[in-house]
Structure 1
Amino acid sequence: MSTGTVTPYRSSPRAGRDGFACLLRAEWTKFRTVRGWVLATGGAALVTVLLGALLATGMRATCSNGSAEIACPAPPTGPGGEAVEDKFYFVYRQLTGDGSITVRVTSMTGQIRRPDAIPGVRNVVPGVVPWAKAGVIVKESGEQGSPYAAVMVTGEHGVRMQHDFTHDTAGRPGKVSGESPRWLRLTRTGGTLTGYESADGAAWAVVGTARLAGLPDTVRIGMFATSPGDITATGRSGAAERFAEVTAVFDRVSLEGTASGGGWNRQDVGVTIGPDGSPHHPGGLTESGGTFTVTGVGDIAPLLHGARIETPLIGVVIGLIVVIVVAVTFVTAEYRRGLIRTTLLASPRRGRVPAAKAVVIGAVASVAGLAAAGVTVPLGTRILRGGGTPVLPVGTLTEIRVIAGCAALFGATAVLALALGLLFRRGVAAVTAAIVLIVVPHVLAIASVLPAEAAQWLLRLTPAAAFAALQSIPRYPQVTYHYVPAAGYYPLPAWAGLAVLCGYAALALGLAVLLLRRRDV
């Protein structure tokens, strides 16, 4: 890449008086007068946008309705606007005003589909997945995504109280059995739902409280059962989800309050309808002598799989490589042409020159990253949705955070590359070192080349940890998922990942200043 002519910083009485501000102006003048640097920085933003648009255009999704192909429906959204999975078997009555439901859970069993040992023979084994759920629930309506609060027993996480999909409170640990049943109670007072548990039906302990704003006067109250699929690792970073269902037995069922008369209603919430019009893996209810046996599949939880707003940011890696080249040549060009001596003579306090260069290149790269993400995220998600690919929705603040995180990633990468240029004084060596530190670990981690645990540690300890700034969907402890970089999940929060990269940049820049003061230019 042609760097053009670098204008040296000339000493003057006024320069001495202006100090660092004058250095900043001089370094900015150097950058903007070299056409190759300006064009390349703009190219870093442009290539990010173009690659993102190209990826989004190529991601076309269709779903089938019998023999016809239709656009894939958007997932239901919860009260907070997040995509959710809301599938369970619901046995309910209508409750008007305040009231409560009390039950005893005496059994929780299930079955899990395993890989077929014999081709053509289904391999189904007894078992309950860790986050299988059964209990009592108050729900605004039968619509998927409507507000709810529930107290439940789980496969391996004891009693929990959950509400509105993202909120989870732990109760007493332990599993349910005939010898160790669990009593559950859920009371409604206005918009406040309180969950209780008991080992004997006499001594009750509060599990948690939820406030559901805007809850109507008449709601649905009853029992439910649901089970997410069984997730098993495949290969280095892959995972497969297989069918699982749960069956829970309830007795000692009692309702307090103004409930609708007649028997219990049934609803298989969110059940998938097959091409022949029949439900696929339906739940069910068997009622006998006050004992309710409820079977369900699905989950009541945030939805984590699918395209995300950061999916089109695939071009960030290429954009960063361009930024690295520009940042390195921003300093090595002066060494190559011998102009660094003039710059340092004009500013005897040598630490100021690298600092001024870092501020300029960091700011320029941040603007490029901001422009790249600011265009790619909304444009890419619009193209994805237009092509029938649902995108997991996020709030405006999350979208802003991802765009700002991309800007910070570009800026901090430029500063680290600049520091390496000062240390090596050779463009090829510095560019190679920066790519090895920042880009290579990220590529290795998301490409499933390394075992999942190794990929996690690589993204904790290297500057590539800063890619966590692009993650829009959080982890949820109450959701079983394959939380690995290849699936878009990073081991550190966004701010912590950026802090790792900034720490490397600060350390490298400090070392460069130290060596600049001690060695001849």
Structure 2
Amino acid sequence: MSGVPREFGRLLRAEWTKFRTVRGWTAAAIAAALVTVGLGLFSAAGSHSSCGTGPVEVACPPPPTAPTGEAVNDKFYFVHRTLTGDGAITVRLTSMTGRIRKPDVKPGERNLVAGVVPWAKAGVMIKESTRQGAPYAAVMMTGEHGVRMQHDFTRDVAGRHRDVSERSPLWLRLTRSGGTLTGYESADGRTWTRIGTASPAGLPRSVRIGMFATSPGDLTVTRADLGGTVAAERFTETTGEFDQVTVVGTAPGGWRHDDIGVTIGPDGAPHHPGRAVRSGGAFAVTGVGDIGPATEGMRAEAPLAGAPAGLVLVIVVAVLFVTAEYRHGLIRTTLLAAPRRGRALAAKALTAGLATFAVALPAATAAFVLGGRILRANGNAVLPVPPLTQVRVVVGIAVLFALAAVLALALGALLRRGVAAVITAIAAIVVPHIVATTSVLPESAAGWLLTVTPAAAFAVQQSVPEYPQMLGHYSPLAGFYPLPPLAGLGVLAGYAALALGLAALRLRRADA
């Protein structure tokens, strides 16, 4: 057994010597890296954006970020007081109503209809401060998803109650004890059910506690004339009616009203502002916006747009690495030096994969980092993502390139015809991705392609995940893939392993 590693190491050195001594192969591998970087930077350089501040156009501000680094939406109306140390807020929610803008029936006449969107929210909140992106926890009623406890923008726990009305009001409570926030719900204000707990990082002794309301846009997705889909989002607002408000532990001072994250129009006035009306001990709080992760906007992986073109060159090099030996009759010499044919093929595949990874990793890094800087310099607001996600995207693209090289080499060894193997590999890896991420196919067909073909591996570049508690246009066209990143890579790895196995089987049966 000790001789196996030595034999395989010898085969690896021999294959690496073959690869690096053929200048055309090394030049093409380097060209693949340059194409990936060049097209990515060219795409970034062509993307410009600006935002208006009155008559002046300025760079668009980046979205607020959560303490963990994700881009977030943090826009709502907040009626609050200062809480120092431990305390609690208890309210009775008697109704939740709203308005939704629909397409205008008559020109110039706004078509506002009564209703609430599925993820409209009204409830109680404890938040570090009124700064956007500040840690928080909230207990709320939603439009169609019942009671929820949400915190730090990405965490969501479902409660029991499904609706609220004047005849069937709902009590909500949020308490603080040290660094732990606990949410409760009740149907009568006497018997309470705990929903969940949260421990927002870095929560100071003095925080804000109160009632809030918010409502994301009404999302509609329609089929386009030439295929694909078109997503549109229209204005909505929601109003929560609160009474029997009890706050324990607050500092001296009255209620404050803040329209967190309100958009200021060109005339300097708030655009779609929220509001609150107090009548005795009752509050009607109306809000517009959302609290949660941001999924719409320029994505951090946008500078990797050159990857499909770079993959084409990688595929060509990997196929030629094996088919050239068949074309020139050198395969028998290789097999004479390595009687165990499966090991010879494995050494060749590993060499192709490692060589490709070695050129793809710096290329992906350069495209991602430099392209991101160019996008921001051009005024684009790129959605920030945590550092570990950035590493996963960059390293994942390099692994995708390496696996694609292995699959292409395996197809070359199986088909033994360069043109046929190149066309097959491109049709399996590159074409499905291009077709699925353009407005050509219905979303269901695009998702199917990116699930069952090797192109599923492109999911590794998705930097913003799909959140079940957020209504969004989660489609390949919008940068979302049907499989998780590692699962997508697994599909490509499975195809590569299958093709290698079939190629090894054929190699054992015939040299040429």
Which TM-score tier does this pair reach, normalised by the shorter chain? over 0.9
**Residue 59 in 1 paired to residue 50 in 2?**
no
Alpha-carbon contact 1:95-1:260 (below 8 Å) kept: no
Alpha-carbon contact 2:141-2:148 (below 8 Å) kept: yes
Query: Which residue number corresponds to residue 400 of structure 1?
Result: 391
Change (3 A) 1:260 1:437: same
**Residue 436 in 1 paired to residue 436 in 2?**
no
| 1:398-454, Cα deviation, whole Å (9 max, x unpaired) | 111111101110000000000111111111110110011111110111002111111
Cα distance in 2 between the residues matched to 1:300 and 1:146: 11
Secondary structure of 2:395 counterpart: helix
Unaligned runs of 5+ in 1: 1-14
Unaligned runs of 5+ in 2: none
Give the aligned CA root-mean-square deviation in angstroms: 1.5
Query: Which residue number corresponds to residue 377 of structure 2?
Result: 386
**Residue 413 in 1 paired to residue 437 in 2?**
no
Query: Which residue number corresponds to residue 154 of structure 1?
Result: 142
Q: CA deviation at 1:289?
A: 3.0
Query: Which residue number corresponds to residue 185 of structure 1?
Result: 173
Alpha-carbon contact 1:470-1:494 (below 8 Å) kept: yes
Tell me the amino acid that sits aligned with residue 199 of structure 1.
A
**Which residue, 502, 505, 511 being the options, matches 2:502?**
511
Q: CA deviation at 1:16?
A: 10
Alpha-carbon contact 1:151-1:185 (below 8 Å) kept: yes
Secondary structure of 1:75 counterpart: coil
Query: Which residue number corresponds to residue 268 of structure 1?
Result: 259
Alpha-carbon contact 1:328-1:431 (below 8 Å) kept: yes
Secondary structure of 1:388 counterpart: coil
Cα distance in 2 between the residues matched to 1:125 and 1:368: 57
Query: Which residue number corresponds to residue 461 of structure 1?
Result: 452
Query: Which residue number corresponds to residue 334 of structure 1?
Result: 325
| Greater shift in the superposed pair: 493-502 or 77-86 | 77-86
Change (3 A) 1:213 1:352: closer
Alpha-carbon contact 2:361-2:398 (below 8 Å) kept: yes
Q: CA deviation at 1:212?
A: 2.3
**Which residue, 185, 191, 202 being the options, matches 1:214?**
202
Query: Which residue number corresponds to residue 105 of structure 1?
Result: 93
Query: Which residue number corresponds to residue 6 of structure 1?
Result: none
**Which residue, 441, 456, 479 being the options, matches 1:450?**
441
Cα distance in 2 between the residues matched to 1:16 and 1:484: 48
Query: Which residue number corresponds to residue 489 of structure 1?
Result: 480
Cα distance in 2 between the residues matched to 1:314 and 1:33: 31
**Residue 19 in 1 paired to residue 29 in 2?**
no
Alpha-carbon contact 1:369-1:409 (below 8 Å) kept: no
| 1:292-338, Cα deviation, whole Å (9 max, x unpaired) | 11110001111111222211000000000000000011111111111
Alpha-carbon contact 2:331-2:511 (below 8 Å) kept: no
Query: Which residue number corresponds to residue 248 of structure 2?
Result: 256
Counting only pairs closer than 5 Å after superposition, residues 202-241 of structure 1 correspond to structure 2 as: 202-235=190-223, 236-241=228-233
| Greater shift in the superposed pair: 71-80 or 403-412 | 71-80
Alpha-carbon contact 2:332-2:511 (below 8 Å) kept: no
Alpha-carbon contact 1:237-1:484 (below 8 Å) kept: no
**Which residue, 89, 104, 114 being the options, matches 2:102?**
114
Secondary structure of 2:341 counterpart: coil
Cα distance in 2 between the residues matched to 1:410 and 1:276: 50
| Greater shift in the superposed pair: 15-24 or 507-516 | 15-24
Q: CA deviation at 1:396?
A: 1.8
Query: Which residue number corresponds to residue 135 of structure 1?
Result: 123
**Which residue, 362, 366, 375 being the options, matches 1:375?**
366
| Greater shift in the superposed pair: 425-434 or 75-84 | 75-84
Cα distance in 2 between the residues matched to 1:166 and 1:176: 25
Query: Which residue number corresponds to residue 80 of structure 2?
Result: 92
**Which residue, 158, 166, 170 being the options, matches 2:154?**
166
Change (3 A) 1:383 1:35: same
Cα distance in 2 between the residues matched to 1:265 and 1:410: 55
Secondary structure of 1:276 counterpart: coil
Cα distance in 1 between the residues matched to 2:504 and 2:112: 65
Q: CA deviation at 1:173?
A: 4.2
Alpha-carbon contact 1:252-1:291 (below 8 Å) kept: yes
Change (3 A) 1:201 1:27: same
Q: CA deviation at 1:46?
A: 0.6
Cα distance in 1 between the residues matched to 2:152 and 2:252: 24
**Which residue, 242, 264, 273 being the options, matches 2:234?**
242
After the TM superposition, which parts of structure 1 deviate over 4 Å for at least 4 consecutive aligned residues?
15-18
Query: Which residue number corresponds to residue 195 of structure 1?
Result: 183
**Residue 356 in 1 paired to residue 336 in 2?**
no
Tell me the amino acid that sits aligned with residue 492 of structure 2.
L
Alpha-carbon contact 2:428-2:454 (below 8 Å) kept: yes
Q: CA deviation at 1:18?
A: 4.6
Tell me the amino acid that sits aligned with residue 32 of structure 1.
R
Query: Which residue number corresponds to residue 10 of structure 1?
Result: none
Query: Which residue number corresponds to residue 42 of structure 1?
Result: 30
Query: Which residue number corresponds to residue 11 of structure 1?
Result: none
Aligned residues: 506
Cα distance in 1 between the residues matched to 2:267 and 2:325: 72
Q: CA deviation at 1:216?
A: 2.1
